[in-house]
Structures are given as C-alpha cells and as structure tokens.
Structure 1
C-alpha cells in the first residue's frame, strides 16, 4: 500500500513510530494515518491531541485522520465508514464497534475529519485518502472569538447593559412538531458592537455574570418581552415567551413580586411569561433557588429547566425542585441521528417528562430528518434552525399573525 501511495502525485509520506514523534506544530500535515487497536492508545488519543493543539491556536491547520483496521471481510469496514450496518462486527480490533463509531462522531463534531477504513482493502483506502486530500481543513478555533474577547473591555459591557444601546431582543419560535404551528418562543439577547460587530453570547454572558450585571440584563429583556406579549394579546394570540435566567438571577430578592406586578399592570396573565433556568452558574444555595422557583410558580409563572442532559446538575435539580417544563439540550439532539445511544437517551427523557408531568421542548433541531426522528421518539415541541432562525421582533409578530 505504501508503494502505491508513494507513486501518487498527491502524497508525500513520512513514518513515525509513536504519537510523541508526530511534529504537527513544526510543519503542516494533511492526513495522519494510524492503526486502531485496543493496545494502541495513541491512535484513540490522536483526535484529542489534535483538538487541543487546534483550540490553542498552535496549528496552521488541523489534519484529517484515517484510522485503519485489519479485517478478513473488508465490506464490514466500508459499512462502518458509511455509518450503517456496522453492528455486523461487534468489535473492531478488540474495540467495541459502537464505541469506536461514537468516538469518531465526537471527533467530527469537534471539527476534525476522521474515517475508518480497512488497511487490507487497498482500493478503499486509496479512495478515502484521495477524497481527504481534496477536503478543506478546519481553521484554528481560537481566532475570532478569542480576538473579540481580548478586544472587549469591561467598560464596554457595563455601558451596553446599563444603557441598552446596541442591544436587541430576538425571538426563536417554538413549534408543534406534528403540525408546524408556532406554540411559543424563546427570547434571545443580541449585541451588535459598533466596532466589532455581533458579539457571541459565549463572550457576553460570562462577562455579564462576572460583573454582576445579570439582573440588569434580565430586566432589559423582560421589559421587551412584556411589550411583545402585550402586542400578541391585543391580537388574541395566546403563546408563552421564555426568558433565560441564571440561578443567581432567579434568587434576586423580590423578583417574583416585581415580575407579577409588571404583568398585571400590562393586563397579562403571568403564565405567558416563562422563565428558563440556565446552567451557566451553579446555585450557591439550592434552598434559596427552590424557594424562588416555588414563589414564581405560586404567582403563575411557568418555570423551565433548560439544557437538560447537558450536565449532572440538571438531573439533581429535577429531583429536588418542581418545574413545569424541561428542554432537551441541543447537543444531544444533534447526536441523535448518528448515535443509537443518543436516541435512547432522548426516549428516556420523554418518559421522564411524562412521569413528572412536565412539558417537553427539544432545542437545537438543525435538519429536517431530526424532526421526523423526534416525532417518532415522542417529542412534540421543538425549536432550531431547521424550523426557524431567531427572528427580529417584527418578523416574529408577522409570523405568528399569519
């Protein structure tokens, strides 16, 4: 096989004995080929190492990875690459095939292209290598977001949250997956910096929390959402809109009373304003969080547990604190079409929601096939790019009016 590759104009080949001898930082490498075996941990760790270098901006480009296996029936390897019928082989070189395919899916999700091929099937291996040779490499992850984080100052964040200038609230519609009817929405904050453009939430929210501005930002969003709910009410449209809040925000003194007074002043039932608890910050005092949520629920507000399955803390909260709704984490949804285990977990969450008498919303639906799959699994309500992107306020109001 090496002779065939060496004779091709596409490849210049170098051999290394171990991962420690692979010098990706010193020279760009297009493809790394490694044999997969239970006794060779380097091969399985290779994506982790590449991902770490890529995230720290120490690579000019992330190489593609080819895992090779030895098999007496090469067709099995072809099925494994295609992601179908690979259960015909329970293990691949002493590694459970389902676990290997799951590891490959996680690798691809991190932005690194990986393929699994049979080394003793030269034609298949050559086809895969030629395909990868013409596939673009992912850029280092650090570039845009880290640059923004370094350019923004705390004064920028304080100014935008206190004045509201350059902030706007967008609405992500939530749909009944069976009939494609809008049944709710999630309010999302957006910040367009005059110099740096749109600032990702992954930068804005941690800085807001660090500076203790979370309640002030929540108040800005809440005011806008109540205005939108008022417009919907005048059009006889009865759907809830969710606002994200950290545990610290929910535990703010007098929050429930203040929100209820504003809703009553606007002539709106409190059930139309939904509060979605995010897992950005672990509550310092679970007892205080429980009391705050119970007070909000007593005043008629709906409380949703966001990003369910994103971490163990959400399950612990569900065990101790009553909620009205939980939202399935988008990462689990995106994995459902590729991993039988993810689909089974979603199925289990559907049963859990039914057991606790909770409404269930599925987030992160990004392709049409996921809608059909989620319907089969029993998920009735969802949101995501496959249904609708976040909309400006006028666009959202026109959508629900239609």
Structure 2
C-alpha cells in the first residue's frame, strides 16, 4: 500500500510542476502548442512511473533534452533527479544535475540572451533540482545508516547465538566424554563377570553360551562406545575427570590466586560420580565468574544435602561497585544450565536485593 501511494504522490507533484511550467510558457507566448505540451507531459509522467525505480539514470538522460525544449516535461525532470539521488551513487547524481544545469544555461542563453528572464529561469530550475537532489541524497544516507545498524544488530545476535551454541556443544561433549569413562568401566566389569561365568565348570552349556554372548556383546558395545567418543576427544583430555571430592582443592587454587573464598562442604560421601562432576563444574564456573566480574570480592561456596533427595550448590559474592571489568557473553552460565538440565536438576542465578550475585543449583542425588 505504501509504494503505490508514493508513486501516486510523486506523479501528482510532477504533473503539478509540469502544468505550472506549461502555463507560464504559454502565458509568455514562447511555448509549444498546447496539444504538443500535453503529449510530451504525458510521456514524461508515464516514463517517470515506469522507470523511476528501475532505470532512473536512463530516464533522466531522456528527460533532459525533452525538458529543455518543452515546458510540461520540466515537472518530471526534478522527480527523476530525486530518484537518481535516492537509488544511485552521489557522483552519478551530481553529474546528471550538473549536465542539466549546463544544458539549460547554454540553451536558454542562446534563446533569451543574458536577460533578467534568463537569470531568473535558470536560477529557479537549478535551485529546484538542487533541493530535490539534496532531499534524495539525505534519504539515501538515512536508509544506509539504518541498514548498517540493522546489519550490526543482526551480526551481534548471530554472534551471541553462535557463542551459546558453542557453549552448549562444548558442555555436551564434555558430558559425553565423562559418560564414556563411567560406561566404559561398567561395561568392562560386565564383560569380566560374563567371562568368569563362561568358564565356570559347574555352569551348564546353555549358561556358558549365554555368558559368552553377553561377554561378546559387552566387548562390541565397549568398542563402539570408544569409537564414537574418540571423535570427541582431543589430545591431553584423556585424564581423570574431577569429582565432588576435588572441590576443596579447587577452592584452594582460587585462594592461592588471591581470592577470598569461604567453603562450607558437607562431604562427598554417597554422591554419584556424575552428580559430583556436575557440582564441581558449577563451583568452577561460579568462581571464574566471580573473579572476572567482581575481583577482590569475598566468595561464599556452600555444598549441602537437602531433605528432598538432592545436592544443593550455592555460590554468592557481592556485586562489583563499578560494574564488571571484563564483559561476558553468558556462555558459561548457558553451559551450566545445559549440564544441570541433562542430569535433571534446576539452576537459578542473578542479582539479589542485598547487592549480591547468587547462583544456586539443585542436583538430584539419592539419600
């Protein structure tokens, strides 16, 4: 709806200007016959409607000689120059405006001489063209500025999305590697017990065959698991994964780095390895964020059991008075949420009314 309205408005302006020039020309007695003026005016406005957006330069070049020798097309020419300024580079617009100004000055000078009418006519036409060209170039610059802002916003959103996806992917890969360590151990035990059952002397042939099948299936499953997870591993990562019992050592490392950390830890007895690893990663990320965004602030770490079968991990620190010294993308917290959700837990984080940043995670853990 907006585009037809714009085209109709510009065509109406061109017609109004063309009628104005034609009336003045006929009134002064130096214009072309009315019928010829009408025909050229219709041709100029029709060309303006058809080619203003697609071929504004060619339209302007065609209207320049027509607007010099006839009055009615003079109304369409400024609109054509406006379209050139709107859709083409500034150098092209200035060149066409200058070509028209020079052409008008030469032709009118030869026809009218250096009279008052000559100066008034040339000045009016040039000022009209310059005004519309300036408006067109201003609108073009504004559109380019808005487009650049939109592109920057799109790139920023895309970059944030990629960082979030990378954090999720990295966290899932880490969890997959940890699950490999757990499953490999369990499957290996299954294969060992099946092999022992297979060689028992008092086992029946059916039991020995079943045990052999179990042992072979466990061996094949272990090989498949190692093949798949092996693609996720990188050199240097085949090391023991941290557990909940390693949290005190992690806190001690932060203290050696200059952080003031208060740890309240109930112990790691009876906590499954996967839950313990998740709790360790939560504390690790929380300590890193605290050192990054509130350097020097005291940090409180609490790990405790709850009445609801589960493990509570809480980390809090005062917010920095002058804001974060290092900007963050939130990828670490995104990875923690992904990890907690994968083990069936809950994660909450954010500033508190007391001026602290508080992170709290609940991880399911059998009593």
The structure whose Rg is larger is: 2
Higher helix share: 2
Q: TM-score, normalised by structure 2?
A: 0.19
Q: TM-score, normalised by structure 1?
A: 0.17
